[in-house]
């Protein structure tokens, strides 16, 4: 069973950048898409982005499109979320999650394994 651990969160000034990592332990990581989900303080879950199992497909939500970039290194069992031009509304807990589907490029079925989350605070 895959386990996920996020890291890289912290306090950052508006307009600056931050890179989050999602490291997986366990088998079969390279067969699954990985999502990023954000939860602003006191708010609900917001889907941000997903990268396909092989890194060839990346999809982004409107709120982060053009500012955030996904990548993955399957040799290191790690997915990265590069966040640029950060804004106050990017503040929140960032979760990564493994997609239920296997070797899918176009359909994403839901998140069956979640990390514990890493907190990002954008403030001057």
Partner 1 sequence: QSALTQPASVSGSLGQSITISCTGTSGDIGTYNYVSWYQQHPGKAPKVLIYDVTYRPSGVSNRFSGSKSGNTASLTISGLQAEDEADYYCGSYTSTAIYVFGTGTNVAVL
Sign, Cα dihedral of 71, 37, 7, 3: negative
Smallest separation, CB 29 to partner 1 (Å): 18
Closer to partner 1 at the Cβ: 78 or 118? 118
Q: How far is the CB of 124 from partner 1 (least distance, A)?
A: 27
Q: What's the rounded Cα separation, in Å, for the pair 32 and 22?
A: 13
3 state DSSP class of 107 = coil
Cβ 23 to partner 1, closest distance in Å? 15
CA-CA distance, 93 to 81, in Å (whole number)?
Answer: 13
- Residue 76 has a CB neighbour count (10 Å cut-off) of 12
Nearer to partner 1, 44 or 75 (CB): 44
Binding site for partner 1 (CB under 8 A): 35, 37, 44-47, 50, 59, 61-62, 95, 100, 107-112, 114-117
- Distance, in Å, from the CA atom of 73 to the CA atom of 28, rounded to the nearest integer, reads 14
Shortest distance, CB of residue 99 to partner 1, whole angstroms?
9
62 vs 124 by CB, closer to partner 1 = 62
């Amino acid at each position: 069973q895959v386990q996920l651990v996020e890291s890289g969160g912290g306090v950052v000034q508006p307009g600056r950048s931050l890179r989050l990592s999602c490291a997986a332990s366990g088998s079969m990581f390279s067969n699954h898409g990985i999502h990023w989900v954000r939860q602003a303080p006191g708010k609900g879950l917001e889907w941000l982005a997903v990268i396909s199992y092989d890194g060839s497909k990346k999809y982004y939500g409107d709120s982060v499109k053009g500012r955030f970039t996904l990548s993955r290194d399957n040799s290191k069992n790690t997915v990265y979320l590069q966040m640029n031009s950060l804004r106050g509304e990017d503040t929140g807990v960032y979760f990564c999650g493994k997609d239920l589907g296997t070797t899918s490029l176009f359909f994403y079925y839901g998140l069956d394994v979640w990390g514990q989350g890493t907190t990002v605070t954008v403030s001057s």
